[in-house]
Amino acid sequence: MPPKPKAKKKKAKDIDWASDEYFTKERSMIYIEHTHECPIFAVKAEECGEFMKQRIPERQFQLVRNKNGKQAPRDGAFEIGFCQNARTSMHEIWSGLNRGPPRRDKFPPTFEQLVPDVQRILKKFYPDKAVGLSDDEEDM
């Protein structure tokens, strides 16, 4: 019996979020560089994206991991970058590169501690909107 032909992996289409076709000012970008040495790095990256979507529901968030696979991550890396939209500059809000061992030190203790940095970046572009703040926090 002849060998079965190998199935080709279907490559995910790379999307250029800054192009006119996909760009929207309401979509904020979360860039995460994470190593592949342990599955927990990928899990934490997904958790970060989901947390931001739940914490700031009035914004759209797009999680980009390792530049859509185009970037070979550094050993021990877990870095989170954020930008207001795909056409603005990225700001690093967490770096676990020089942290650890233990591995748990590579990640933020809670993703809640990243929210003030995200709000600061969003306010830079929309000072009239208090993005991600509850009514009590806005009055302060």
pLDDT tens-digit profile of 125-139?
666 555 555 544 444
What is the structure's pLDDT at 42? 92
Give 140's pLDDT tier (boundaries 50, 70, 90): very low
Compute the average pLDDT of residues 109-124.
91
Domain chopping of the chain, boundaries: 27-133
DSSP H helices in the chain: 39-55, 115-125, 135-138
Q: Which CATH superfamily is domain 27-133 in?
A: Glutaredoxin (3.40.30.10)
What is the structure's pLDDT at 34? 92
- DSSP, collapsed to helix, strand or coil, labels residue 62 as strand
Element (DSSP H or E) covering residue 34: strand 27-34
pLDDT at 112 over 60: yes
Could you tell me whether strands 78-83 and 91-95 are parallel, antiparallel, or unpaired per DSSP bridges? antiparallel
Least confident range of 39-48, 51-60, 120-129: 120-129
Q: What's the pLDDT tens digit per position in 22-50?
A: 888 888 999 999 998 889 999 999 999 99
CA distance 103 to 77: 10
CA distance 26 to 38: 33
Environment class of 115 (CB within 10 Å of its CB; exposed 0-12, middle 13-18, buried 19+): middle
Bond preceding residue 101 cis, omega within 30 of 0: yes
Q: What is the pTM of this model?
A: 0.77
What is the structure's pLDDT at 135? 44
